[in-house]
Structure 1
Amino acid sequence: MSRNTQRLVGVLSLIVVAVLTTVLSVTWMWNKADAISPVAVPAPNSTPLETVSPSVKPTVTPPPEGKVVGSQIIASNNDTMALMSSAWTDNGENSGLYGGGATWLTVHDRYDGKKATWGNYVAFGGLNKQFPFVNTPAGRKDATIKAASLAIGKLYDPNVKLLGKATHRAITVDGHAGHELTVKVEVKVPKLKETYSTVMVAVIDRGDGTADVAIADIAGSTPQWLPVWRTRVAQIQFSN
């Protein structure tokens, strides 16, 4: 074999080795990629990948709240009702109003000898959004009955006994037509020296398709607060 032939064989051998090395390297890379690839590549015209829902869903916006500032209850619509007196304090609204605030006056402190208290409650705010409002005598009366039923159910119990029939009367507040309901609710609580409370509810048209609501829950032993509440309702101020 000549020297040139030997050189040619050597060069061909190197080329074969290089090609084999390249093939093996490429094969290793594809095998390795298949082994570590977490998601298969979608084929043409395949079903699109589904969007994964976020683990944290947006929270529901809480309803607006009223507040007690100085000597007034300010509803979320900025209408105001004066406090019964300076002895009444801020209290959480829990009678079903929309954007309402509330006040409280303790009448019996620790009547059970421990921590239980009993008192008077007055709230002011908007008509609950679940109730439609029609500004007619019948519509205002219907809204007042619904607001009173909701308030009594929340403050007492939906099955609480009513003493006698509710009384109704048409009212006017600063030129705005309204309706007032008054009813007595039976009270039977061990060690408590009360037999009933008087619940009063007034619904007043705001002139924009909505209505304000004032609620009073007054212990039977403190009837002096009933005319005060009526006076405060007559003094309600509208922001619109």
Structure 2
Amino acid sequence: MTKPSGGSVQRARLIGAVALVLVAVLITGFSVSWLWTNASAVSPVDVPAGTAGGVKTISPSLRPSPTPTPEGRVIGGLFYNGLDDTMPVMSAAWEAQGDRTGLAAGAGSTIAVHKEYDGDDDWVNYVSFGQLPKSVAFTNTPAGLKDATIKAASTALVQLYDPNVKLIGKATHRPLTVDGHVGHELTIKVDVRKPKLPETYSTVMVAVVDRGDGTAVVSVADIAGSTPQWLPVWRTKVSQIQFKQ
């Protein structure tokens, strides 16, 4: 037998490779054609339900944390409640504090009227801003607003003083409107006579204003009788409440 030359072997290998490529292309084309033309005739295959078996669940490195309870705060001259409604603070001389009047997501501020009046404690004016607690039923009617204001005032009086707080005279009421939102205001005097305290009463004022979504904002003012100039300031600040849309 005659041994083939190197050129003949290379040509044979090239022809064989081309033939294999053509066969692969024909098979691929046929397969794709079959899939597209017969896909609608193929019944779906049920996927078996997964079972735990011996597979272990891996605990995530970070667990979901509970949503924090909204809090009121004082930032840049504004009170913020939990819904980001705002009310201007009384003035820069007032210091930010927490809520002391039983509001939801409330914040407060104080200014000293009599420093260490009893040798230890300061007697202060106090203002707070927040939301009406869910425990107080609220309906956006004149009667509903008045009732909610009375209940908010009762809670504030107990928080600021005590359950046996002594009131002077009767409360006065008036409707109000803030940025198109209806509200109600209550004013009452409180007997605060204490040893060494040069005061005989304080004025407590409470305003409840409808937000328009079934809830209401609240502001409370507790002003010493010797500083009545702060009462119209509080009313002005209430009139400047802004509601987060």
* TM-score computed with the length of structure 1 as normaliser: 0.73
Across the aligned residues of Structure 1 and Structure 2, the Cα RMSD in angstroms comes to 1.4
- Structure 1: which 5+ residue stretches go unaligned? 1-59
SS in 1 for 2:92: coil
Q: 2:101 — aligned with what?
A: 95
- Give the partner amino acid of 1:175: G
- Give the partner amino acid of 1:208: D
Deviations 1:56-102 (A, max 9, x none): xxxx9874320000100111110000011110010121100000110
Q: Is the 8 A contact 1:135 1:205 kept in 2?
A: yes
| Runs of 4+ residues deviating >3 angstroms | 60-63
Q: Take 2:139 and 2:176, find their aligned partners in 1: how far apart are those partners?
A: 16
The alpha-carbon deviation at position 195 of structure 1 amounts to 0.7
SS in 1 for 2:79: strand
Q: Take 2:67 and 2:202, find their aligned partners in 1: how far apart are those partners?
A: 35
**Count of aligned pairs:** 181
Q: Is the 8 A contact 2:166 2:190 kept in 1?
A: yes
Question: 2:155 aligned with 1:157, yes or no?
Answer: no
* TM-score computed with the length of structure 2 as normaliser: 0.72
Q: 1:141 — aligned with what?
A: 146
Q: 1:86 — aligned with what?
A: 92
Q: Take 1:143 and 1:161, find their aligned partners in 2: how far apart are those partners?
A: 21
Q: 2:74 — aligned with what?
A: 68
Q: 2:206 — aligned with what?
A: 201
Matches within 5 A, 1:113-192: 113=119, 115-192=120-197
Q: 2:52 — aligned with what?
A: none
The alpha-carbon deviation at position 121 of structure 1 amounts to 0.3
- Give the partner amino acid of 2:217: D
- Give the partner amino acid of 1:141: K
Q: Take 1:61 and 1:116, find their aligned partners in 2: how far apart are those partners?
A: 37
Residues 210 and 105 of structure 1: is their aligned pair in 2 closer, same or farther, counting only changes over 3 Å? same
SS in 2 for 1:81: strand
Q: 1:215 — aligned with what?
A: 220
Deviations 1:36-67 (A, max 9, x none): xxxxxxxxxxxxxxxxxxxxxxxx98743200
The alpha-carbon deviation at position 164 of structure 1 amounts to 0.3
Q: Take 1:111 and 1:92, find their aligned partners in 2: how far apart are those partners?
A: 22
- Give the partner amino acid of 1:70: G
Q: Is the 8 A contact 1:123 1:216 kept in 2?
A: yes
Q: Is the 8 A contact 2:98 2:106 kept in 1?
A: no
The alpha-carbon deviation at position 128 of structure 1 amounts to 1.1
The alpha-carbon deviation at position 202 of structure 1 amounts to 0.2
Q: Take 2:169 and 2:67, find their aligned partners in 1: how far apart are those partners?
A: 41
Q: Is the 8 A contact 1:63 1:98 kept in 2?
A: no
- Give the partner amino acid of 1:69: I
SS in 2 for 1:91: strand
Matches within 5 A, 1:3-22: none
